Structure 1
């Protein structure tokens, strides 16, 4: 049950400070936590140096300065792959003994049992290649206040921002994809290779920074580049906006329209192209194992889906 974590940051001093607390308090510690700095101009580099001094399992690397400015649609996959290769070359002994590679965004809350629970899900079923906890999102921008009631929404899909990939699966799909929407691409490639996507109900991650319109436009543009079929690409944002009462989701449709207008060349990946053309992304969930590591019973996806319309109110002193 050995793993590493990779986190990409750019000007995220406050988020990284909070995330460092969550990572260092994990009940199952990582072999390495690789923090990839995309040439931050705030206090992030100073914080990374301080963290490295205090924790010997933290590794800091910087992306080459000749790369284009940070864009989560086009660069995220490249950065994760860059970090993975860095570990393989410079920490071969560690890479050789780990079983899992975790991807963790800096704007999440994860409880101290997160990696222990998700990896136990992996260990419970050899066919799971990618897994996460439940995915909650704060509905309004988060500000800390002791005892504040936080409004959350549960989504019925794996949280790519805190997913854990079995090393064998990662190697089988050719490494972390360097394409737009690399998390979706990774799951598609894993499914096509016969792996399952797992979600454990025994732990969770909370996205503390609601996705804004710009982020969703980028995601919609990425969907276009991935060959998402025209009808789904145009209707997905509108459908999500109505179903989840989340108006910003129309950004997916806007981004797809921008892609159509740009006529930019789509990615040349026949596996992803064929999958999205013949099936569409909903099969990622239909092929998923929704599993509880606590009671060891499979949970029907339809049952979980019913709760996505609910809004959860929690009082959390820790976030």
Structure 2
């Protein structure tokens, strides 16, 4: 009973070398390559701005030998991606400096695309070793030349002043805008009733004092009610219903309401309705009817319609008939 029983085989050792096995994520099982491999930098394999298609295409291009065909149609035949995706991936690699494509004209006149692949953008490959200098045959020693004549001492250059460092630029002084001196236009005067009566003023004052019962924000003082009473009286004089006045003064109030008396003064002044039209104003006009005034005849004193005063039709006919008889018939 005291002997420990092993019910499960021990875990197999991890094939991963070079550190402890991570608890999550990818686990690398690396074997060193001896031949047939390509060195690719992490700046390409882990590039944040390239798509997976572009990264894979760059790795494929870097693994090809010099002179291999990497045209869009050739790559589309080699891989399942379409020509559109391959063209987009090539543009990505060209934008990030992994490829450089240029047009070149061959001696026979053909124009081809020349593509250069960079395994590390931003750096140029090492320059080729300098060519050895051509060997020259040793020549016989020549006679020594006479020493050159002494040259006149060159004039000493004038001392030049060291360039002064540029003066530090200071920020321009802020432009001070003067405070506005123009006075604001005074508010328009509050309307006044044409026929003020004590009953009209008393009803208008009661309507203003009753506003706080419907809207607590419109609690007015006695002085405010005394000032606004003529304006509400003008509304009542123009046959405005009290409910209409109350709705116009209490609807859509700003939040917060700081000056209730100023708001009521503005609404009483600007929203004042016009007087109600009379019966004559509401009568429809009869188009095409022209009223001709009545005139008194100068001959018979009878009334007749005409635009100008004078004689009626009968009197004008009688005058014409008398004039047509002539003096010979009368004799």
Question: Does the alignment reach a TM-score above 0.5?
Answer: no
TM-score of the superposed pair, with normalisation by structure 1: 0.20
Bigger share in strand: 1
TM-score of the superposed pair, with normalisation by structure 2: 0.20
Larger relative contact order, structure 1 or 2 (CA cutoff 8 Å, min sep 6): 1
Larger Rg: 2
